[in-house]
């Protein structure tokens, strides 16, 4: 069984290698090969899952050591895998959703001349993401962490001829790199504190750490949080996610909604033992999550670009997960549960958005949609189910997972609990508002599309089966996954051996929370209906309030980045280039020039007359002789 873990990673890696080096001769069936290898991974995942279910809860962890990666004295980095319940959950999510999105892409990318390359990049992503969740130490995790960053870079910038795509790709990579500093410093801190960075060494040691080490552990916690902020698009490193929507829609669904962006949640949950003994770091995590869940939701309300609205939503939902993960043992399980259900419905929503764009000549502005439910019924139904799931309609996936998080937030206790719970509930209301807005603007009302610049009028049509089938499967997941997980607290029991779990002490009963959530949900939906359902949507965006205008610009944080980092950086590098030339090199050239000037003077002595040279020789000799005699005399 252990060898299968390696194969799980190897299959998509092989695909990436073959597809990216194979050249044009693979163009005809490269996409099929890529999809096949993703499916192979999924099947391997299922086999391992079945095997894991057959064992008792405490005996489910599989490890597999492949080889020593970097051996330098006490720094021993291994390539080894660890498959426990937490990794298993991710493996199934990644390979499952990943396979569906491979299938979807066959249709979506049909007319792209670089489809083979696209599948190569997707396979590369799967391999890196699996490496990330299967690694048995932080160093290998870091390799996967940057690997998914690379895949994300390549896929966001897949249409490189568009300057906006190339810029967005670069931005995503750079912001992620800032986060990566966090992970590298965390690994270094672990190495200098524990002499190791393997989960098996660090996590138990953290659990047993005494008070003197808590400062270090808090430091590690903060650094891990920085890493998570970068990868999971949390405030203050969230700015790349909206731009990342420049990538092809299947990419947005797989990487920037369902899997890669949730890596931060994985990292924090996996490092639970560290955070449990570092309350300050936990508070920071919760704060970041809460701020982001409101931030993303507000941004999502103002965007007219359907993908950017969904990106805001992704940010916000991951904010929920991060918040839950920051709550400690009362939240870990629910963070992961929400992560999985979110993987289903958000991937479904993105694929739906892709399907809409596919039928609308790649139009993304929701103000140009309207009334599409008649033209694309399957997309409408699957998107609608995803919508109901995300707003937490009772009985659907999101209801189970999000309500649990809100409950856990209240269960934190004290004033903190009330604030967190209140924010989470407010977030739920805003979620309901912006998702209803998306739904109404896209599928309801009158048609608002026009001829484009070349005079083509879009002919909205349903997408081919290769695209709709994955959407239908994901819709099933969106509807039933939550209920399935919550039956007899199945998911809690499944993950408990890895993450630990404790029931909080909630000041509100479960019923009260559910009722409250339902009320705010209805408020949100009603408000959206009043604004966008009852009266026609203007085709040109109105000026809007100050908040709306700020939210359209991602609450001005991009402007901030531009002014402070981009402009400031440009000034800094320009003045440094100037200084390097004038000061550092100036000293060098100045020395050269002064030597040159001196020699110019001395050159005058060389008048070319042999006799004057002879005089100086004679004079010199006389001086030397005199000096010698004098020295002797003394």
**Helices and strands (H and E) in the chain: how many:** 26, 2
Measure the CA angle with vertex 269, ends 243 and 216; round to 5°: 100
- Do 354 and 253 meet the contact criterion of CB atoms below 8 Å apart? yes
**In the range 236-265, which residues lie near another protein by CB under 8 A?**
none
CB of 585 to another protein, least distance (A): 4
CB of 79 to another protein, least distance (A): 8
d(CA 77, CA 110): 42
Q: What is the number of other CB atoms lying within 10 angstroms of the CB of residue 418?
A: 15
The only residue of 68, 489, 509, 545 in contact with another protein, by rule CB under 8 A:
68
**Residue span binding another protein (CB under 8 A) among the ranges 30-38, 64-72, 521-529, 556-564:** 64-72
Map residue 137 onto helix, strand or coil: strand
CB of 74 to another protein, least distance (A): 6
CB of 193 to another protein, least distance (A): 5
**Sign (positive/negative) of CA torsion 418, 422, 425, 431?**
negative
Element (H, E) at 578: helix 568-579
CB proximity list for 129: less than 8 A, separation 6 or greater: 94, 98, 144, 147, 148, 151, 259, 260, 263
**In the range 121-140, which residues lie near another protein by CB under 8 A?**
139
Comparing CB distances to another protein, the nearer of 46 and 178 is: 178
**Sign (positive/negative) of CA torsion 274, 276, 277, 280?**
positive
Strand partners, 63: 82
The pairing of strands 62-72 and 75-83 is antiparallel
610 touches another protein by CB under 8 A:
yes
Please list, residue by residue across 167-190, b when 16 or more beta carbons sit within 10 angstroms of its beta carbon and e when fewer do: ebbebbbebbebbbebbbbbbebb
* DSSP secondary structure of 45-111: HHHHHHHHHTS-GGG--EEEEEEEEEEETTEEEEEEEEE-HHHHHHHHHHHHHHHHHHHHHHHHTTT
415 touches another protein by CB under 8 A:
no
Burial of 84 (0-12, 13-18, 19+ CB in 10 A): buried
Comparing CB distances to another protein, the nearer of 489 and 589 is: 589
The only residue of 33, 187, 241, 263 in contact with another protein, by rule CB under 8 A:
187
544-573 footprint of another protein as x/- string (CB under 8 A):
-------------------------x--xx
606 touches another protein by CB under 8 A:
yes
Q: What is the number of other CB atoms lying within 10 angstroms of the CB of residue 415?
A: 8
145-184 footprint of another protein as x/- string (CB under 8 A):
xxx--x--x---x--xxxx-xxx--x--xx--xx-xx--x
Comparing CB distances to another protein, the nearer of 461 and 581 is: 581
73-112 footprint of another protein as x/- string (CB under 8 A):
xxx-------------------------------------
603 touches another protein by CB under 8 A:
yes
71 touches another protein by CB under 8 A:
yes
Comparing CB distances to another protein, the nearer of 166 and 550 is: 166
Query: Is the bond preceding 236 in cis, omega lying within 30 degrees of 0?
Result: yes
Map residue 623 onto helix, strand or coil: helix
The dihedral formed by the CA atoms of 486, 491, 496 and 499, expressed in degrees to the nearest 10? -110
Comparing CB distances to another protein, the nearer of 246 and 304 is: 246
**Distance between start and end Cα atoms, the chain:** 95
CA 484 to chain centre: 27
d(CA 326, CA 595): 66
Comparing CB distances to another protein, the nearer of 182 and 319 is: 182
Comparing CB distances to another protein, the nearer of 377 and 597 is: 597
The only residue of 414, 607, 630, 633 in contact with another protein, by rule CB under 8 A:
607
CB of 622 to another protein, least distance (A): 10
CB of 583 to another protein, least distance (A): 9
CB of 149 to another protein, least distance (A): 9
Comparing CB distances to another protein, the nearer of 251 and 440 is: 251
203 touches another protein by CB under 8 A:
no
Nearest to 287 by CA among 227, 334, 235: 235
Comparing CB distances to another protein, the nearer of 610 and 630 is: 610
CB of 571 to another protein, least distance (A): 10
569-588 footprint of another protein as x/- string (CB under 8 A):
x--xxx-xx--x---xx-xx
The only residue of 43, 51, 191, 531 in contact with another protein, by rule CB under 8 A:
191
HSE-up (13 A, CA, CB side) for residue 496: 12
593 touches another protein by CB under 8 A:
no
Comparing CB distances to another protein, the nearer of 183 and 555 is: 183
Tell me, by CB under 8 A, how many residues bind another protein. 69
142 touches another protein by CB under 8 A:
yes
CB of 41 to another protein, least distance (A): 19
**Residue span binding another protein (CB under 8 A) among the ranges 86-94, 438-446, 502-510, 600-608:** 600-608
d(CA 418, CA 408): 11
HSE-up (13 A, CA, CB side) for residue 245: 24
Comparing CB distances to another protein, the nearer of 144 and 312 is: 144
d(CA 84, CA 10): 19
By CB under 8 A, name the binding residues for another protein: 67-75, 139, 142-143, 145-147, 150, 153, 157, 160-163, 165-167, 170, 173-174, 177-178, 180-181, 184-185, 187-189, 191-196, 205, 212-213, 216, 569, 572-574, 576-577, 580, 584-585, 587-588, 592, 603, 606-611, 614-615, 618
């Amino acid at each position: 069984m252990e060898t299968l873990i390696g194969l799980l990673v190897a299959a998509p890696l092989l695909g990436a290698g073959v597809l990216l080096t194979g050249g044009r001769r693979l163009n005809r069936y490269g996409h099929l090969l890529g999809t096949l290898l993703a499916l192979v991974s999924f099947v391997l995942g299922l086999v391992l899952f079945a095997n894991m279910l057959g064992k008792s809860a405490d005996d489910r962890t599989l490890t597999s050591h492949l080889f020593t990666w970097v051996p330098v004295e006490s720094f021993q980095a291994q390539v080894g895998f660890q498959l426990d319940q937490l990794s298993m959950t991710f493996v199934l999510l990644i390979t499952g959703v990943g396979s569906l999105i491979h299938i979807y892409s066959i249709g979506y990318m049909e007319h792209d001349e670089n489809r083979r390359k696209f599948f190569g990049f997707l396979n590369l992503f799967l391999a890196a993401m699996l490496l990330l969740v299967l690694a048995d130490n932080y160093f290998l995790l870091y390799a996967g962490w940057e690997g998914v960053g690379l895949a994300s870079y390549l896929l966001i910038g897949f249409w490189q001829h568009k300057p906006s795509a190339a810029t967005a790709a670069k931005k995503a990579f750079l912001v992620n790199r800032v986060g990566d500093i966090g992970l590298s410093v965390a690994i270094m801190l672990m190495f200098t504190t524990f002499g190791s960075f393997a989960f098996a060494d660090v996590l138990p040691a953290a659990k047993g750490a005494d008070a003197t080490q808590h400062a270090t552990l808090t430091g590690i916690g903060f650094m891990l949080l920085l890493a998570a902020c970068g990868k999971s698009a949390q405030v203050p490193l969230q700015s790349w996610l909206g731009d990342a929507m420049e990538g092809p829609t299947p990419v947005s669904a797989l990487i920037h909604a369902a899997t890669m962006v949730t890596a931060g949640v994985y990292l924090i949950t996996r490092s639970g033992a560290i955070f449990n003994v570092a309350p300050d770091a936990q508070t920071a995590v919760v704060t970041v999550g809460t701020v982001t869940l409101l931030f993303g939701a507000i941004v999502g309300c103002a965007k007219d670009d359907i993908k950017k609205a969904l990106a805001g939503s992704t940010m916000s939902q991951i904010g929920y997960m991060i918040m839950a993960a920051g709550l400690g043992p009362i939240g870990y399980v629910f963070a992961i549960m929400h992560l999985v259900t979110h993987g289903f419905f958000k991937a479904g929503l993105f694929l739906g958005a892709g399907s809409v764009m596919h039928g609308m000549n790649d139009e993304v502005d929701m103000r140009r949609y309207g009334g599409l439910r008649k033209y694309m019924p399957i997309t409408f139904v699957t998107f609608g189910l995803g919508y109901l799931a995300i707003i937490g309609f009772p009985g659907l996936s999101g209801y189970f997972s999000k309500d649990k998080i809100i409950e856990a937030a209240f269960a934190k206790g004290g004033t903190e609990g009330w604030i967190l719970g209140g924010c989470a509930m407010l977030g739920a209301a805003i979620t309901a508002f912006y998702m209803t807005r998306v739904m109404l603007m896209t599928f309801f009302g009158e048609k608002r599309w026009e001829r484009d610049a070349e005079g083509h009028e879009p002919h909205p049509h349903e997408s081919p089966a290769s695209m709709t089938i994955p959407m239908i499967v994901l819709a099933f997941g969106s509807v039933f996954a939550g209920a399935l997980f919550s039956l007899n607290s199945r998911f809690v029991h499944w993950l408990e051996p890895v993450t630990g779990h404790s029931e909080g002490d909630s000041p509100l009963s479960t019923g009260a929370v559910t009722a409250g959530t339902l009320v705010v949900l209805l408020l949100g939906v009603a408000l959206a209906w009043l604004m966008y359902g009852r009266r026609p949507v203007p085709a040109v965006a109105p000026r809007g309030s100050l908040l709306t205008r700020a939210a359209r610009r991602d609450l001005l944080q991009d402007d901030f980045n531009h002014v402070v980092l981009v402009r400031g950086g440009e000034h800094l590098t320009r003045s440094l280039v100037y200084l390097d030339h004038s000061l550092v090199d100036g000293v060098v050239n100045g020395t050269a020039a002064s030597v040159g000037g001196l020699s110019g003077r001395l050159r005058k002595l060389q008048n070319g007359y042999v006799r004057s040279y002879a005089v100086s020789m004679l004079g010199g000799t006389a001086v030397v002789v005199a000096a010698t005699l004098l020295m002797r005399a003394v």
